[in-house]
Structure 1
Amino acid sequence: MRLLLVEDDDRVASALSAVLGKHGFDVRHARSGGEAIQALLPDGGPEYDCVLLDLGLPDQDGFEVCSRIRRRSATPVIMVTARSDVRSRIHGLNLGADDYVVKPYDIGELLARIHAVVRRPPLRPGAAQSAGPATPPGGSPMVTLPGADGAAPMTLGAVVIEPSTRQVTVDGRPVALTRKEFDLLALLAQRPGVVFRREQIISEVWRTAWEGTGRTLEVHVASLRAKLRTPAMIETVRGVGYRLVVPAG
């Protein structure tokens, strides 16, 4: 089994790699988030069965790395970190982590958790973060996340979203959106018809846990509805979250 260990402390990484190696794992060590992302690219080398991800990395926060991994890969991710607070746990799982292990940990438990996530059925990239099915009603494909290289424009009725330039037009006319409004719209537009949980939206767009941020989400949804001039396009699913509905015709 191939593991990608993302850990900036060489001593910790060396000790853990040695133990994992004795249990039959082939471990590659990445010292930064950028190195981890590069290793998971299609041409970055062999495929990995699991990623062990520390959160305190030198170039970017581990939460951001997890989000970037989940955008392009369905490889199981286990966050292995000293951050033990509940908010961090919730945030990591909402971003798509398959498990969350707090240091110090028992190596036997870590091995069991690795085997557990690897046994799970594989998900399409991004699917771990969705509250709905892998393919939305009607078979609409999932599109590339906003800001990703080579992302194609998304056409949703009269609304066109340009991820590369972060521009939105309605009936050919530019619409001025704030950064968070654009991120919210682009997130929902990934998978029209699929419900995104409130907690997931907060984690993806605001990069924080749900607590105390609910009202902010409601305000941004209301603003988007007004600016797009199609209130029914963003539908509230009571008690769960929101989904984007593409107008017929």
Structure 2
Amino acid sequence: MPRILLIDDDEQLGPPLAAYFRRYELDLEQAVRPSAGLARLRAGGFDAAILDVMLPEMDGFELCRTIRKDSDLPIIMLTARGDVMDRVVGLELGADDYLPKPFEPRELVARVQTVLRRRVARPAADPATLRFDGLQIDPARRSVLRQGQPVELTGSEYELLLMLAREPGRIFSRDDILNALRGHEADLYTRAVDIVVSRLRRKLEPLEAIKTLRNAGYTLALPRADA
């Protein structure tokens, strides 16, 4: 059963949410302080984390940044309703998804299930390594090499890169990317895609891997290594 760590200082939130998650075969545990949450994450065994933005000791953004220093664990941020900047900052720091508070437990479960599905390797569907000039993607191991060096990507970044690499030269619109990354329709804004693309570009530098076509979308610009 996948283990999820909720880091939220509302002690009344964890128990009923954990009971609800068990209905979907998800084991939710809670830490009410970031320091305790970090210690548990570093001990290992968790498959995803849910972070509230408003926390004691450090806010959720700093907590997300700290986790991202040495982990690609899927992260969902709980943000203030209607606060677009919270969502933007969370995505820029490497969060995989966000959900405004207050939220419906079923929607949070759906978001967790989506980020977990992204993390599961699919060797049967993607048996071959994808090779481009300076870039190598192994779908079976979910690994990426840039000029021979490993690149650490979040779940969203990896899924975006794999999506582009499967059909190099095809132009993917923002809606195409949003629907693929989320796995379901959601109330989103287009800047979310721009943020993930920007993060991915920085990690792939000095390769000029992703081309933007104004008013159209994005495409992988690298030639195949065996072309």
TM superposition score category, shorter chain reference: 0.5 to 0.7
The AA in structure 2 aligned to 1:3 is I
Supply the distance in 2 between the matched residues of 1:4 and 1:77 (Cα, whole angstroms).
10
Q: Which residue of 2 aligns with 1:37?
A: 38
- In 2, Cα distance between equivalents of 1:95 and 1:189: 13
Shift in CA distance, 66/113, structure 1 to aligned 2, threshold 3 Å: same
Which consecutive aligned stretches of 4+ in structure 1 deviate over 4 angstroms post-superposition?
188-192
Equivalent in the alignment of 2:6: 5
Q: Separation in 1 of the partners of 2:29 and 2:207?
A: 36
Please give the secondary structure, in 2, of the residue aligned with 1:72.
coil
Which one of 98, 101, 112 corresponds to residue 99 of structure 2?
A: 101
**C-alpha distance in structure 2 between counterparts of 1:48 and 1:194, whole Å:** 33
| 2:149 equivalent in structure 1 | 140
Q: Does 1:60 align with 2:38?
A: no
Q: Distance in 2 between matches of 1:104 and 1:7?
A: 13
Counterpart position of 2:128: none
Q: CA deviation at 1:22?
A: 3.1
List runs of 5+ in structure 1 lacking aligned partners. Answer: 124-131, 144-187, 198-249
* Counterparts of 1:23 and 1:4, CA distance in 2: 15
1:65 CA drift (Å): 0.6
SS of equivalent to 1:60: coil
Q: Is the 8 A contact 2:79 2:86 kept in 1?
A: no
Which residue of 49, 52, 60 maps to 1:51? 49
Choose from 113, 116, 121 the match for 1:115: 113
Return the offset for 1:84.
3.0
Q: Structure 1: how far apart are the matches of 2:103 and 2:80?
A: 10
Whether the 8 Å CA contact 1:140–1:192 is kept in 2: the answer is no
Q: Which amino acid aligns with 1:14?
A: P
Max Rg structure: 1
Q: Secondary structure at the match of 1:135?
A: strand
Q: Could you list the runs of 5+ residues in structure 2 that have no partner in the other structure?
A: 122-134, 138-143, 153-200, 211-227
CA 1:140 to 1:112, structure 2 compared with 1: closer, same or farther past 3 Å?
A: same
Matching residue of 1:14: 15
> Which whole-Å CA distance do the structure 2 matches of 1:141 and 1:107 have between them?
37
Count of residue correspondences: 142
Relative to structure 1, the CA distance from residue 98 to residue 190 in structure 2 (aligned partners, 3 Å threshold; closer, same or farther) is closer
TM-score, length of structure 2 as denominator length: 0.54
Distance 1:86 1:117 in 2: 21
Deviation at 1:69, TM superposition (A): 1.1
Identity of aligned residues (%): 37
How big is each residue's C-alpha offset from its partner over 1:24-78, in whole Å with a ceiling of 9 and x where there is no partner? 221221112122211121xx14x21211111111110100111111221111111
Using the TM superposition, give the Cα deviation of residue 141 of structure 1 relative to its aligned residue in structure 2, in angstroms. 4.2
Equivalent residue for 1:193?
Answer: 206
So what's the TM-score if we normalise by structure 1?
Answer: 0.50
**8 Å Cα contact 2:74/2:95 also seen in 1:** yes
